[in-house]
Structure 1
Amino acid sequence: MFLKAQYQPFFKILTLTAAVMQSMSIYAEEESIYELPVIEVQAIHTDNNILTTPASLYQIDASPQQNNSNVNLSEVLQGVPGLQINNRENYAQDLQISMRGFGARSTFGVRGIRLYVDGVPATMPDGQGQSSNIDLNSLSNIEVLSGPFSSLYGNSSGGTILAQSKEGEGKDSIQVGYNAGSHQKQQANIVLQGGSEHAGEPAYVLSSSYFDTNGYREHSGADKAMTNAKLTWKLDDGSKINWVLNRVNINADDAQGLTRAQWQANPKQQVPFLKQFNVRKEIEQTQTGLTWTKPINDKNELYVMGYFGNRAVTQYQSIPAATQQANTHHAGGVIDFDRNYYGLDLRWKGTDLLPNTVFVAGVALDQMDEDRKGYENFNATGQYGVKGNLRRNEDNTLWNIDPYLQASWQFLPAWRIDTGVRYSNVHYKSQDHYLSNGDDSDGTDYQKVLPSVALSWEILPTLNTYASYGKGFETPTFTEMAYRPDGEAGFNFALKPASSDTYELGLKSQNDFGLFTAAIFQTETKNDIVPADASNGRSTFRNAEQTLRQGAELSWQQKIWRDLNARASYSYIDATFDADIPATNTKAQVHKGTAIPGIAKNQAFARLAWQPEQGFQAGVDVRYMDKIYVDDLNSDSAPSYSVVGASIGYLWKKADWTVNSYARVDNLFDRNYVGSVIVNDGNGRFFEPADGRNLNAGLSVTKAF
């Protein structure tokens, strides 16, 4: 039952909060002397108002005052309720991002959450995503959608993150920036932009940057080159075209994890045994996409999105030669793949075709073609960290065609119902070309109907509440199926897709006292995909019969006085296995009620910032993270921690010149804590230490012409 006994007290608090917020809203309406701004969003296609959207939806605007290095998405998204984003100080494995527990199993990249940049997927069709191609130097805003309505985005949408880059506007301008900090971190960037005065002429933004670092830990250096371009046409007929191009090149060493004893002795170290392997990753990705919005008349609108990308990865792992030689089915210690991916999204939107209704109908088509090879990570002389003999060679394909429908009906002045349904289907096929150990060609299909529904009530123009339900669907990625737990060759097509049912109650208010949101939720998942084992940089996965996630989220933001802004949030999630997981030859039984590893039960965040349009800037923030269990048996955990960050800066403007300077310190009190954990690591090296006290400072100069 959704509102179980432990939720009844919180529901009473939520009801009391609604009454208090209602009285505050009435008072604010009487005293207010200005109209509150409408916060527009794009995540739910039938609504563009954050207050009336019946879902947990948060928008983070990019600050015009730079106060961080603009390298990692974690710099922007801290404090979003329900979002756990861990910087593992490891550029070979990307950030560790989970939302209400979805994605916490990922040892690298982003899974269980869908990412979009300017409407173009940054998540592969199989559900594997990465945040490394989001250019923070040209970022406009980010929307974070969680809960039942995230299933509108189909497979692997336990949550959705939509980043939007800036569009060119005003005079042509050039911005040149440089920042540097601890561990010889440095980034140089340049941004060119300009608006358009005539229909048919594009506005443009061109951003390019180069970042490198020696790394906080031994063998954790990295360099990253990125270019992001965006052209925008606004035509006479009211249509709008965006064309985007993104390229990123990353070379990163991988320090891997530490045991608890190693972390406590020296968090900066790499395990001595691992140094011989020269573990590292090389990534090249190029992606382009086009979106076209065309109003047919005042009631009908068409939307078309098409994209194409290529991603090539070579990863050197720390697998000993003896392990590879002992098993003729072993795929080697070097992963090498080249992947093309492409797709379309065609959508129609109709407004007031029936009284007080909005309809959306569309279809999404995606395909991925991958050439995957595996090599030994040693040569004939026994030297590690090189590409040796071929051990795996296959062509993998995946495709889906997902039709979807949405409808929104304002059936009473203060009451509205929103519904949606999507048929998600994913088709996998692998063609084996390395036949000396047998033919492991195989394939499988997954499909699910994903309904969602929400009932919302506008208590006041400044106070809304809603109740919603949605069914989610998550297939294993090619990476998660790439290796079988028994060590045999071929894909682990025995992995089943996860299916979830999510219920949510929410409350939102926007008035002179600020923007306030509250939500409680429950998610029941069958066949949840969980790590089976992780060893030497390689992970295998299995299904848990049933899991349960229950939680609550609160957020508040407000301009307190003049240019003094405040933000605060709190997240609670109780994530457990809701059925026993039987023991295997190498794994003990996991009992019902055991906590799912990788998920913090409590998170809190608060920020206070002085941010005038120009002049002196300052800010301070504090973040709390609860302990995180490292494995299914809850045998150990990364301890809870609180860290503080602070920044100062000065923004100077005169005529066509703008100079922005800042300095920032993170982990102000030099707390020794674990940034993330490697769930179920077979060697007990679960812990990836976070950086100690670290400094960063930067300067940018902008000239308009």
Structure 2
Amino acid sequence: MKSSAPVLSRHLNHLDHPTCIAIGVTLLMASLAQAQTPPEAPEPEGGALAPVVITGSGSADQRWRGSATVDVVDGSELRSGQLQINLSEGLARVPGLVIRNRENYAQDLQVSIRGFGARSTFGVRGVRLFVDGIPASAPDGSGQAANFPLGSADRIEVVRGPFAALYGASSGGAILAYTQDGTRPGELRVGAALGANGLWRLSTQATGQTGTAEAPGWSYTLDVGTFATDGARPQSAADRTSANVKLSRAHDGGRTVILFNQQRSFALDPLGLSRAEYEASDEATTPVATQFNTRKSVSQSQLGVAWDRALGGGHKIELMGYGGTRQVVQYQAIPAGAQGITSSGGVIDLDRTYWGWNGRWRWRGEAANGRVNLSAGLASDRQTDTRKGYQNFIGPTLGVQGALRRDETNRATTLDPYVQGEWSSAQLTLSAGVRRVNADYTSSDRFISGANGNDSGEKSFGATLPVVGARWQLSPGLQAFANVGKGLEIPTLNEVAYQSSGAAGFNTALNAARSTSAELGLRGRNGAGLWNATVFDIRTDDEIVVQNNTGGRSTFQNAGRTKRQGIELSAEYGLDTFTLTTAYTHLRARYQDSFLTCTVTQCPGVNPQVLVPAGNRMPGIPGQQLFAQLAWAPNLSGGWAAGSVFTLEARHTGRVFVNDLNSDAAAGHTLFSIGARFEQTTGAWTWREFVRIDNLTDKKHAGSVIVNDGNSRFFEPGLGRSLSAGIELTRRF
């Protein structure tokens, strides 16, 4: 981490909490006292694979220019002193973002931004994911963060606030990963790391460029890695291998980029723990996980191509296309008695093909004494899921594939036109954009037997999502910004799979959630660092919530109005050999309307429903989060201590309710970590080593919760005190 020129661009939110106001005022005074004229930022270079229109430059200076709320985390910062296995390792410093390692690789990370996505029990919902401009989220809004290539990441951008809606439906926020381009001279990195519970990682990255310096050819980046772990609890072992290839070549007025990604993974699933099980031991696994041998295997391959070309006069055309396949087989712990003819079974067998394209025109010029950037495009994505379900038993034998219980093809297709424009001068930036969201779902049922009738169906969602924003330069080191816009969260194909009565078949009564989001903030920077403070207010109608989650089947409903209000604060300052990095989020997320929910089977058809009163907290969302890191880089030379950095971290997470009824909650906790990393260079060779101790005080805590779990197994224990270490060898050629 650089002590005087931070690589993060922080953006923060919420001003109704006295403590936060005091912090914000302190930061403001410090910034004004030390304000210096910042260097003029370069014009952004539109990347061929930038997914929409907000991004295209990873420069923190560029974030200073715009009104959108975007944090940029440099790739070297993601890797430095980390295991390089999970995206959660390096993004805790981003305010407004909740990203948790569940210590369960069968269910991926838990990710939410300003409360969007918190209801997800597996995978990512309500937050859009992209890797080099290619969606890691399906058209229905479901996504996975496991295929983010940390070893070759150039940067990760986290978009929050109203402008995130320009990434399409279910964009309560967006996380965008960009990998490195090959350069000259080339570089080879080989790394290894070890961690608690038998965890290990091996990885290799190679970057370079063919041709000569005068006549360069293709730039290339290759990233291959594998890791495995015995798991923190019984039935939680996992392994994963991945390969990422990026080829790019400049041509007259533009660039061509080719991307290939492949991933294979296998993970046992320890499931969550009930309150009684968690209190008895946070290292235990619920018995049904081993009885049914709960597990998941994933195989995914993907290819993408992007091309752009300048047309003269400031005009540019950009084209991108991609396609891939994904296979998932998962064994669940659904009781045999619940897998009748109308059940979907306890074994998921999913075979997905997906593809998409994005075409965009850009123009950059000058008008009305300012710089103008205009863009317009059309994006389309499609997924086809061939989904089968089987019983997870044969006679008395559990955890094996049994009789067929589901056989259908589900499709989701989007076709979204979008337009965005920006006018900027030295003192003012005005931004506006609009995206028309169109999503169509269809399901063709082939398993029709007795009481299990034809469950085919279709559903469409649509909305126009405008957003406007402004940025004012109040002084050379201080600016204000304000943004407001509309958002739409569509239910996933899984969430519309069952009717509100509990019967199979498309839930045509389930509507998309519509939101209005507004934010207001200040940013400051000077020679020592930068800070951000933002307040936000999000009002949602028809919030999507669980109606019933029992017997292996989840049904969803619309719960009326919700309100999310919060503040985000962050700062990074360097003084001599010390750097202090902080990020604080306060979020008040509540249901404004009461609604009925179910806690037992055959509900609502037979049993009475339970009232969730207005004012209840939305589950899965901590009321506050704090990250603070103090890094010390002493001026040492020679030997193993050369290039050394020592860190002390504190991470606080507030209380998290586990369900809509607010009947239980994971307690708040604070975890401390210490680390040290070293670097030595001899000629073309560079060695880097790190050692780290997490949860220094061995604090027992729930690392995450499974929201609205029908078996009340809400709690996923976090790791106790754990040691990790790694080494990396780099050679330039």
Q: What TM-score, normalized by structure 2, do the two folds share?
A: 0.90
- What's 2:70 paired with? 57
- What's 2:161 paired with? 147
Matched, 1:635 2:663: yes
- What's 1:607 paired with? 629
Superposed counterparts of 1:39-54, under 5 Å: 44-45=53-54, 48=57, 49-54=62-67
- What's 2:7 paired with? none
- What's 1:177 paired with? 191
- What's 1:654 paired with? 682
- What's 1:231 paired with? 247
For residue 462 of structure 1, report the CA deviation from its aligned partner.
Answer: 2.4
Cα distance in 1 between the residues matched to 2:271 and 2:177: 29
Cα distance in 2 between the residues matched to 1:66 and 1:413: 36
Residue 150 of structure 1 aligns to which amino acid in structure 2?
Answer: A
SS state of the match for residue 509, structure 1? strand
Cα distance in 2 between the residues matched to 1:670 and 1:16: 35
SS state of the match for residue 227, structure 1? strand
Superposed counterparts of 1:687-702, under 5 Å: 687-702=715-730
SS state of the match for residue 344, structure 2? coil
Cα distance change on mapping 1:17 and 1:414 into 2, 3 Å: farther
Matched, 1:292 2:314: no
Cα distance in 2 between the residues matched to 1:119 and 1:76: 20
Cα distance in 2 between the residues matched to 1:176 and 1:612: 26
Matched, 1:448 2:470: no
For residue 172 of structure 1, report the CA deviation from its aligned partner.
Answer: 3.2
SS state of the match for residue 279, structure 2? helix
For residue 38 of structure 1, report the CA deviation from its aligned partner.
Answer: 7.0
Identical positions, percent: 39
Superposed counterparts of 1:108-187, under 5 Å: 108-187=122-201
Residue 331 of structure 2 aligns to which amino acid in structure 1?
Answer: Y
> Would you say the 8 A contact 1:482–1:490 is kept in 2?
yes
Residue 130 of structure 1 aligns to which amino acid in structure 2?
Answer: Q
SS state of the match for residue 560, structure 2? strand
Matched, 1:617 2:645: yes
For residue 639 of structure 1, report the CA deviation from its aligned partner.
Answer: 0.3
Cα distance in 2 between the residues matched to 1:37 and 1:351: 16
Select the residue among 479, 484, 493 that pairs with 1:464. 479
Report the more deviating stretch, 355-364 or 566-575.
Answer: 355-364
Cα distance in 2 between the residues matched to 1:15 and 1:68: 30
- What's 1:663 paired with? 691
- What's 1:20 paired with? 29
Cα distance in 2 between the residues matched to 1:166 and 1:586: 56
For residue 21 of structure 1, report the CA deviation from its aligned partner.
Answer: 6.1
Residue 155 of structure 1 aligns to which amino acid in structure 2?
Answer: A
For residue 611 of structure 1, report the CA deviation from its aligned partner.
Answer: 5.1
> Would you say the 8 A contact 2:32–2:477 is kept in 1?
no
For residue 119 of structure 1, report the CA deviation from its aligned partner.
Answer: 0.9
Cα distance in 1 between the residues matched to 2:146 and 2:674: 25
- Structure 2 gap ranges (5+): 1-13, 598-603, 636-641
Select the residue among 619, 622, 626 that pairs with 1:597. 619
For residue 55 of structure 1, report the CA deviation from its aligned partner.
Answer: 2.1
For residue 386 of structure 1, report the CA deviation from its aligned partner.
Answer: 1.1
Superposed counterparts of 1:542-581, under 5 Å: 542-562=557-577, 564-581=578-595
- What's 2:115 paired with? 101
Select the residue among 659, 663, 672 that pairs with 2:700. 672
Residue 163 of structure 1 aligns to which amino acid in structure 2?
Answer: A
Cα distance change on mapping 1:295 and 1:631 into 2, 3 Å: same
Q: What TM-score, normalized by structure 1, do the two folds share?
A: 0.93
Select the residue among 384, 388, 391 that pairs with 2:405. 391
Cα distance in 2 between the residues matched to 1:6 and 1:702: 46
For residue 396 of structure 1, report the CA deviation from its aligned partner.
Answer: 1.2
> Would you say the 8 A contact 2:28–2:524 is kept in 1?
no
Report the more deviating stretch, 60-69 or 465-474.
Answer: 60-69
Matched, 1:341 2:354: yes
Superposed counterparts of 1:386-535, under 5 Å: 386-410=400-424, 414-436=427-449, 437-535=452-550
For residue 691 of structure 1, report the CA deviation from its aligned partner.
Answer: 0.9
- What's 2:207 paired with? 193
Cα distance in 2 between the residues matched to 1:390 and 1:595: 40
For residue 526 of structure 1, report the CA deviation from its aligned partner.
Answer: 0.7
> Would you say the 8 A contact 1:317–1:333 is kept in 2?
yes
For residue 261 of structure 1, report the CA deviation from its aligned partner.
Answer: 1.7
Q: Deviations over 1:425-457 (max 9, x none)?
A: 100000111111211111011100000001221
Residue 471 of structure 1 aligns to which amino acid in structure 2?
Answer: K
Q: Deviations over 1:518-569 (max 9, x none)?
A: 100000001111223334665332211111000000111123224x332101
Residue 189 of structure 1 aligns to which amino acid in structure 2?
Answer: S
Cα distance in 2 between the residues matched to 1:234 and 1:395: 41
Matched, 1:81 2:90: no
Q: Deviations over 1:317-356 (max 9, x none)?
A: 111111113xx21111111111111111111111226443
Q: Deviations over 1:225-273 (max 9, x none)?
A: 11111112122x2312221111111100111111112111111111123
Cα distance in 2 between the residues matched to 1:23 and 1:138: 38
For residue 103 of structure 1, report the CA deviation from its aligned partner.
Answer: 0.2
For residue 8 of structure 1, report the CA deviation from its aligned partner.
Answer: 9.3
Cα distance change on mapping 1:17 and 1:293 into 2, 3 Å: farther
For residue 416 of structure 1, report the CA deviation from its aligned partner.
Answer: 2.7
For residue 13 of structure 1, report the CA deviation from its aligned partner.
Answer: 6.6
Cα distance in 1 between the residues matched to 2:721 and 2:645: 21
Cα distance in 2 between the residues matched to 1:335 and 1:621: 40
Cα distance in 1 between the residues matched to 2:634 and 2:24: 37
Report the more deviating stretch, 125-134 or 58-67.
Answer: 58-67
Residue 225 of structure 2 aligns to which amino acid in structure 1?
Answer: S
Q: Deviations over 1:100-157 (max 9, x none)?
A: 0000000011110001111111111110010011111111110001000001111110
Report the more deviating stretch, 530-539 or 670-679.
Answer: 530-539
- What's 1:212 paired with? 228
Cα distance in 2 between the residues matched to 1:377 and 1:620: 47
- What's 1:202 paired with? 218
Cα distance change on mapping 1:144 and 1:39 into 2, 3 Å: farther
For residue 461 of structure 1, report the CA deviation from its aligned partner.
Answer: 2.9
Residue 615 of structure 2 aligns to which amino acid in structure 1?
Answer: G
> Would you say the 8 A contact 2:53–2:420 is kept in 1?
no
Cα distance in 1 between the residues matched to 2:155 and 2:335: 45
> Would you say the 8 A contact 2:359–2:379 is kept in 1?
yes
> Would you say the 8 A contact 2:20–2:569 is kept in 1?
no
SS state of the match for residue 264, structure 1? helix
Q: Deviations over 1:6-38 (max 9, x none)?
A: 849799879967973673354x35xxxx95877
Cα distance in 1 between the residues matched to 2:385 and 2:714: 30
SS state of the match for residue 65, structure 2? coil
For residue 193 of structure 1, report the CA deviation from its aligned partner.
Answer: 1.7
> Would you say the 8 A contact 2:315–2:364 is kept in 1?
yes
Q: Deviations over 1:654-695 (max 9, x none)?
A: 111111111111111111100111111122111010111111
- Structure 1 gap ranges (5+): none
> Would you say the 8 A contact 1:420–1:451 is kept in 2?
yes
SS state of the match for residue 217, structure 2? coil
